[in-house]
Structure 1
Amino acid sequence: MSILYNTNSSLIPKFQRNNLHRESQYASRQNVAFNSKYEKNSDEYLKELCDSVWPKSLHNRIGRMNKTELAVNSFAALMVRNFMGWYGTKIPTSDDQFLILLFDLIQDLTADFRNVHMDYECLLADELPMILSEHLKVMRRVWKEQNPFEQYCKLTFYQDEYPQLITRHLKLPLENGSCLQSDFLEALFDDLIWGKVMDRALEPYFILHAITKLSVKTSDKHIHYWSLQKLKQAIASSGKILARMFSVDKKQPTRQQQQQLRPFLHRYAFTFLLEDLSMLHHRKPGLFAIAKTLQYWATKSSSIDIILHNLFYNFITTRLTDRSNWQHFFLTLRQLLFPNDSEMGPSANIAVGAEFEALKIEARDKLWQVIQSKYIDLLLGTTQDDVNEWIEILSKDKRCNKLFCFRIINCLLAQ
């Protein structure tokens, strides 16, 4: 499975004579599950999956990979197989150089990502809430329109920039003057990653299914009775929170560096939560005034500010930098996009019509149950109409959500 570089090669007529036979063989392989004697997602299984895609000269390097590297590389290998495999049926060659270069590129990108320093607090508490706020405000205006995507584009102008802006940014470090490489990378990013992969991942059916699943999981944890075991768990959780308020990691900013940071309660996440999402200033102005007063006085205390910075670092930043979480993410993403570990395809029939509407109602009801169980409706004035609006925004048109994700990716690249 590779690509032929010289279109004038004398090998082409030979391959063209057998073209129909090759394409029929390729079609017969589609949707056939990858078979292995090892347990799915075990280290041995992932190594065997990677070996089935990459040339034999790379198998020793694959055998030395750790769990996280295997999870990332197995996903990347299937991406390459689905994209490069199409060319393999058209113009095959025994030259493995291009695949080896792709493998090296993936390894370099993985290493760069591990070594990158990212300000997660700024990203998650400032920049992403701002992007989400803009998206929410526009979607509230257009989701009832006949063609919400067209209106969304008119109000944002994002369609003229994405995904070309992101592709150009990613191609820049790889430019070497080769038109073939440039065209390949554009096709890889624009057609496969920003096209098929994102369309699949942002399918409203999967988003609603995930909301329902997470809501049920959260509701199951919320038990409305007291027991000795639950009391012990509450005490242990409180002790863990207190410990993380004051614990300092070597990688964490020092006290002097924290004091130079923007006050935590001045982050845009709080404005988004109190004003943009819940509109508390309209629904409960008295409670909103109390919240803003407490926010103002809390920012005056450097001790409280340091505690909040510590909590964010110990609860969120450490989880985002934990390799096991990234391993789980790529394993889940691979199973979503490649359910049979072969060709990209749906693992379930996508609900449409009345079945899809029933799924929306279920997601709305389960989410509303969580909001009530956590008393969010009393604190922020959230109503069932709000929940219904959120569900409609998420499921109305995935093209709007796609542009929203492009902005997030652009923000990550800027970091």
Structure 2
Amino acid sequence: QNLRLSSHVLSDFGTDGLSIANDNGSFSTSWLRNLSDASSSWHSSSTKPRKLITNDFDNFHFHAQPSPIPTSVLQLAGSAYLMRATAWEHYGSAPMVRMNTLVYATCFADAASSSELSLAYVKLIEQLAVFKGYSAAFCALKLAEEKFPSSTNSQIHLLKMQLLHERALHRGHLRIAQQICDEFGVLSSSVSGVDIELKTEASLRRARTLLAAKQFSQAAAVANSLFTTCYKYNMQVENASVLLLLAEIHRKSDNAVLGLPYALASQSFCKSFNLDLLEASATLTLAELWLALGSNHAKRALSLVYQSLPMILGHGGLELRARSQIVLAKCHLTDPEFSVSEDPCAVLDPLNQAAEDLQVLEYHEMAAEVYYLKAMTYNHLGKEYEREEAAARFKEHVTALENPRDEEDSLVY
């Protein structure tokens, strides 16, 4: 409804003057002043009780500035929506990101520059990848490439590389993931100019690829170097992300004790800068680290999971939601006081939800863990058929991860 009304209001101001070439600024100043006067008269007239009539919109249009809105004003107003979308990305509110980006793409596309409009498309496609999977994201990316050819638009090309890298890691195509990392390295080289954000992205992708290849010491070295760079240039969001990556590296290398300080530091960064979703992810990582230290810490880990669940289930994507469900199930299975036979749904329900989300992402490693836990649960319950079925699915995902197929198609849609 807001989108329709906004578009209607803008169109009624008139579109003939959106491309005025010789505007010395006096027209914009006059328009803003008259619009302010119109708003004041409208508010003063609305203080009296009145009945809603059919021509209220015409009444508003009568008081409003009859001249067309200048391009500069539209561009400024539209940029504000893009800035809000970026801010909400950091805070962790996916609905607010989508809403602000959609308002920009719907109401301000005519006056938008190519770079800003392509940025709006990038944000929406990123949301699709996180919440709907790669198939939906790549379909939208095809449309974006037709509108903004990737050969001439670096943002679209960068997004394509990011999505291909994520999909390659999830499918276990480490060779393809390394090729994309090498391409990131070329883009961030000094020959192309120094872009610190692109250099950070390249290092982060390289560290994650090394982690997927179980080269833990190399991954930690890259992440430590990246943290130094981010700290030097005061990149606070990236600081929190890299600290979380270091905690993950130590957890997967069976050094949970070493990972705890990094997770706590990341959580502290997130609290300081109100990075709510990233803070929830850091809290979930803390729970995983406590679980890795033994069954005595299961209740502490479960408390941390419950603390992070509202934010994750409300705003997290498929991968983060599935991960939280897996940790929740593991907390119950690890707790010596929990009986699977008394409350099997406490374990099976989150695992079934995780399996459904991971199927969309084709995340073989995490999906294998889900079916392994399901097989163990069914074994405790004495359900042999369900256990064997879960074990077969576990084997399928392990085989797909160890022997990735169709590698020649992994760099295309």
Q: What's the TM-score bracket when you normalise by the shorter of the two chains?
A: under 0.3
Higher relative contact order (CA 8 A, sep 6+): 1
Q: TM-score by structure 2 length? A: 0.25
Q: TM-score by structure 1 length? A: 0.25
